[in-house]
Amino acid sequence: MKLSRLWADILIVLIYGGAQISSLIPAVIYKGQNLSASEMMMKVIPYMIGAFILASILVYFINRSITNETQLERLPKERWLYTVMWIIAGFFMALVAQALMNMINIYVLHQPAESQNTTDIMAVAKQNPLFIIIISLAGPFLEEFVFRKVIFGELYEFIRLPRWAAFLIAGTLSGLIFAAAHMDFDHTLIYLGMAFVFAGLYVATRRLIVPILAHMMMNSFVVIMQFTMGDKIEEAAKQMKSTAQIIWHLLI
C-alpha cells in the first residue's frame, strides 16, 4: 500500500491520539464495579501498553508506505558510523538541555522544580513496572514520529526562509505543541529545549532513528535514576535551590 505524505501524516497523528485515549476503554468496560483509583489504574495499563505497541507498529508501516518524502528526507543520510555517534551525543545533549532549561525554569522563572507529569508517570511505573514499555520505548517512538517527523518536518518543509530561520520557527512551534501535549505547562521551557535537541538531531542526520533512540535513552535514564535514587535526587534538588536562593540574596 502506498500513501501520500499528507494522508500518512493524518493517520500517524490519529493513531497517536488513539493510543493516548486508549485508557478510556477499561473505564467503560469496568464502569460500575466501584474500583478504586489504584485498581482502575492496574486495569488501564495493559490496554495502554497494547495500544501503544500496536500504534508503533502501524506508524512504522505507514511511514514506509509514503511516496513523496520531504526535501529533508530526500537528502543524503548521515553514514551509520556517525549516526551512532550522533545518537550517543544526542542522549547527552538532551540531558544537558533538560538540566539547563530546568535551572532557568527554577531560578529565573521561579517555577516548581518537580514536574507533576513526571511524578504521576513514575508513580504509575512503580505500581506496574510494565508501564516502562510506554515511557522508555513506545512513547518516545511515537512522539518522534508525531512531533519531529510530522509537525516539525512539515513546518520545516513549508517555511520558505533560510534553513536556520525555518529551523528556529519550526522548532519553536513544534516544541510548544510537544510541551502542550504533556500537559505540564510549568515546565514548557524544558520540553522546548529537548524538542530543539531532537529536531536538531533529525536535521543533522536526516535519520529519524537518531532522535528516536536518543529520546528512548534519555527517558530510560530518567526512569532508572528515579527508581534507584529518587529520594536522593529530590533532596539534592532542594539543597541546590536553597543554595541558589542564598547566593541570589547576597548578590542583590
Catalytic residues: 143
**b/e per residue 173-196 (b: at least 16 CB within 10 A):** ebbebbbebbebeebbbbbbbbbb
Q: Report helix angle 163-181 to 188-205, nearest 10.
A: 130
d(Cα 27, Cα 159) in Å, to the nearest integer?
42
Give the span between the Cα atoms of 159 and 119, in whole angstroms: 37
Q: Which three cell numbers stand for residue 249?
A: 540574596
DSSP designation for 144: I
- Do 192 and 106 form a contact (C-beta atoms < 8 A)? no
